[in-house]
Amino acid sequence: MRDIASGRYVVGERLPPERELAKTYSTTVRTLRKSLSELENKGMLERIQGSGNYVRDNTNARSVYSMFRLELPGGGGLPTADVLGVDYMAKPDDLPRFGTSDHASRIRRLRYLDQTVIAVEEIWLDGDSGRVDPAALSDSLYFYYQNKLGFWVSHAEDSVWAAPVPDWAPDAFGPNAGDTAGYIERFSWAQVPEPVEFSRTWFDTNAARYVQRMK
């Protein structure tokens, strides 16, 4: 799902042979076939006997993974996250303008790809878009927004450069506080004119890369 959503496999493309895919994902052909069947049931694959497995256009993956632009150096990787803290507070003065409220939920997380630590992130959700319940969070915040808060992120704008790692980053994140790391700032929009979310992500350039694909 992650690789289809990110555009690594494009709509209409035939996937590599099953034995090659099994090797790529470090699993058995039997387990791979079960997974392909699940993707077919979700409408993301068309399996043609004697021809192969073809990617279909489907929103199941896009809503969860398509806006996560960090990948392992070799490509792909399943994104997961540990929540470091969730707070509801007045927006600090150093945040850029976004949303319509003077309060926001702040989520800090440690990010993984295939269980490898790759980033720390800080997400601010405007208070008028809802208040985040830390007990209900999933690895995909966009999935949480849609299913728990009743809105969906339709588009986002990223700016990418380098910046010092914040002092709240845990020891598990490779670079130390103050070290220079890859840096992403993102504004996200839903069904209103103002951005509903602002986020900033510091990523370890030895462990991950930022990828944007054109379809």
The token duo for 156 is 């986002």
Residue range 185-204, pLDDT digits in tens? 999 999 999 999 999 999 99
Residue range 101-158, pLDDT digits in tens? 999 999 999 999 999 999 999 999 999 999 999 999 988 898 899 889 999 898 999 9
Question: Mapping DSSP to helix (H, G, I), strand (E, B) and coil, where does residue 56 land?
Answer: coil
102 close to 127: Cβ distance less than 8 angstroms: yes
Record the pTM: 0.82
Bridge partners (DSSP) listed for residue 199: 123, 186
- How many CA atoms are closer than 13 Å to the CA of 136, on its beta-carbon side? 11
pLDDT above 90 as % of the chain: 68
Bridge partners (DSSP) listed for residue 186: 158, 199
